[in-house]
Copies of this chain bind each other. A is one copy, B any other.
């Protein structure tokens, strides 16, 4: 079948799946988890831009986001500060933010997005 495009697949997951006009990006975390919430959020958003680019779109095409924070009470404001500045005006996705421990203890934020394909 050629109606599903997968980008950067390994045995566990693909980083991006494109099908039916939607770009699905898997949950992304920071590469350098020694950074604080602002640094980790900025890293995750840069990765999202990179993967959206590989799918032929950009952040102005975002549909939805889920943001999972390891410590929402401590890190909600810091994450929002970076997030709000990153979005392009008039193209904000729907969003939900909750607390969830992540795959490693030093990871403070994971973000999952979808976007409309070009």
Chain A residues with CB under 8 Å of chain B are 1, 3-4, 6, 9-17, 19-22, 24-27, 60-61, 63-66, 68, 72-73, 76, 80, 83-84, 87, 89-103, 105, 110, 112, 116
Known contacts A101-B73, A101-B98; is A92 also within 8 Å of B20 by CB?
A: no
Of B80, B83, B98, which is within 8 A of A100 by CB? Answer: B98
CA distance A61 to B14 in the complex (A): 13
Task: Identify 11 new A-B residue pairs, CB closer than 8 A, beyond the known A3-B116, A11-B87, A12-B95.
Answer: A4-B116, A13-B92, A17-B64, A17-B93, A19-B116, A20-B116, A24-B63, A25-B94, A26-B93, A27-B98, A98-B102
Q: Which of B1, B76, B96 contacts A27 (CB 8 A)?
A: B96
